[in-house]
Chains A and B, each alone.
Chain A
Amino acid sequence: DTGVSQDPRHKITKRGQNVTFRCDPISEHNRLYWYRQTLGQGPEFLTYFQNEAQLEKSRLLSDRFSAERPKGSFSTLEIQRTEQGDSAMYLCASSSGGRQAQYFGPGTRLLVL
């Protein structure tokens, strides 16, 4: 059990560029969650998957955001045409479902200039 990993850990981009983040969950965890955390706030839910199926998307997830989890393993979160308001920490978490807690990765910190 190596824990949840995220890549990259930091990303600086210019407004209007596209960025993609990757999350590798704990092996055999079938649920994977994306959250966004801005400075001084708690994480806010974006979307989650059970295996490869995307079960729910938050209203925070505008049409510039897309997430995938092909084959039910790792997941990617893409932001198109980034805006300065997208600057935040993007957190990934996984769980085995049922009554189990969610375990978080270290996050990807995005800065849009």
Chain B
Amino acid sequence: AQTVTQSQPEMSVQEAETVTLSCTYDTSESNYYLFWYKQPPSRQMILVIRQEAYKQQNATENRFSVNFQKAAKSFSLKISDSQLGDTAMYFCAFMKQKGNSGNTPLVFGKGTRLSVIA
């Protein structure tokens, strides 16, 4: 079975600064995907960024980028130029690839609560 560990229950960052959230995972699968989701207070889960395990290049989405270290099974999220609207719970998630159909249930970490301070 797959497990996802987020070792930082809470973090804070000053507005406009950079912050990195950690995630490690354990799997024996070779084909899988990794995701970061954001859940603002009392609002729905939003996809932030995704990474295919077969790709060596780290994914980026505007101010969000990942550092994917496959051998170390590490998948950290870097948020640059932090904004007040980035305040949220951030969840790291793992999805194994199933044949050609791809999509299987997500396995989530416990989350990191990020507060951006003005």
Contacts and interface: CB of A to CB of B under 8 A. Distances in A.
Given A93-B106, A103-B47, A104-B37, 13 more contacts: A33-B106, A40-B111, A41-B110, A42-B4, A42-B108, A45-B105, A45-B106, A56-B105, A98-B101, A101-B33, A101-B47, A105-B44, A107-B44
A101 B110 contact: no
Interface string A93-104: 101011111111
B40 to A, nearest CB: 11
The size class of the interface chain A forms with chain B is 20 to 34
B24 to A, nearest CB: 14
Interface residues on B, range: 20 to 34
Nearest to B97: A99
B107 A104 contact: no
Contact of B111 (A41, A45, A95, A105): A41
A26 interface: no
Given A42-B91, A107-B44, A102 B110 contact: no
